[in-house]
Amino acid sequence: MNDLPILYSFRRCPYAMRARLAIASAEFPVELREVLLRDKPNELLEASPKGTVPVLVLADGSVLEESRDIMEYVLAMSDREGLLDFSAGDLTAMEGLIDRLDGPFKAALDRYKYPDKYAGANRLDARAAASEFTSELDRRLGAGPYLFGDRVSFAELACWPFIRQFAHVDRDWFWSQDWNNLIAWLDAFIASDRLKRIFAKYPRWHGGEAGIVFPPDA
């Protein structure tokens, strides 16, 4: 356990979820430390003063503090599913798609979910703005079961947790939209062993003890 890389994580955080999805896909064992965002351990803040999760601390002490960097790092070690095994054009398109997810879509999702936290935010305007992105995904999924054709890609792992979060703000509304492709794609993720494997409830890490080895059966 001592020499495993350390992942600071929070179960429901979509950024931490996408990192765990990539770690699980790569079968890259880490010591998972489940933290509370309102009471972050000093060890996390010492490793990464910006105080977001996920954070991966490698055995040589280097720190990855962006979810996409963590995904890319572990998949560079072992990309068993070929998540990045796509043409250069597709990889560029994936980057662009995830930039739009992390940028305008996430900003709209936050305003839809927590309108009171943002001055001037209107819940329904925010939902309409976020829907531009989900409509784009639905159109893209018209061409095949996955975002980049007939097999799962890096883009799936990056996007699924956020679309799931968007859907769960108002389930009745989301599941009554005319997004048949997107809904089938999300339903498959929600029912998957892939999600189950990264979504177990871990005890909070308090410091001073070992975290949990993740992925569970690595």
Ligand X SMILES: N[C@@H](CCC(=O)N[C@@H](CS)C(=O)NCC(=O)O)C(=O)O
Give contact residues for ligand X (rule: CB under 6 A). Answer: 13, 15, 37, 51-54, 66-68
The smaller minimum CB distance to ligand X, of residues 103 and 142, is found at: 103
**What is the closest distance, in whole angstroms, from the C-beta atom of residue 41 to ligand X in the complex?**
12
**What is the closest distance, in whole angstroms, from the C-beta atom of residue 126 to ligand X in the complex?**
17
CB-closest chain residue to ligand X: 13
The smaller minimum CB distance to ligand X, of residues 179 and 205, is found at: 205
Under DSSP, the state recorded for 81 is T
- Specify whether the CB–CB gap between 74 and 35 falls below 8 A: no
**What is the closest distance, in whole angstroms, from the C-beta atom of residue 83 to ligand X in the complex?**
17
The smaller minimum CB distance to ligand X, of residues 89 and 117, is found at: 117
The smaller minimum CB distance to ligand X, of residues 67 and 134, is found at: 67
**What is the closest distance, in whole angstroms, from the C-beta atom of residue 136 to ligand X in the complex?**
20
The smaller minimum CB distance to ligand X, of residues 71 and 183, is found at: 71
The smaller minimum CB distance to ligand X, of residues 98 and 147, is found at: 98
Tokens representing 116 are 């009171």
Tokens representing 184 are 């089938």
- Residues 6 or more apart whose Cβ sits within 8 Å of residue 164: 14, 186, 189, 190
b/e per residue, 124-137, with b = 16+ CB within 10 A?
eebbebbbebbeeb
b/e per residue, 60-81, with b = 16+ CB within 10 A?
eeeebbbbbebbbbbbeeebeb
**What is the closest distance, in whole angstroms, from the C-beta atom of residue 109 to ligand X in the complex?**
11
Rounded Cα–Cα distance for residues 28 and 4 (Å): 9
- Continuous segment of H or E residues that includes residue 64: strand 63-64
Count of CA atoms in the C-beta half-sphere (13 A) of 8: 27
The smaller minimum CB distance to ligand X, of residues 45 and 191, is found at: 45
- Specify whether the CB–CB gap between 169 and 124 falls below 8 A: no
**What is the closest distance, in whole angstroms, from the C-beta atom of residue 35 to ligand X in the complex?**
9
**What is the closest distance, in whole angstroms, from the C-beta atom of residue 56 to ligand X in the complex?**
10
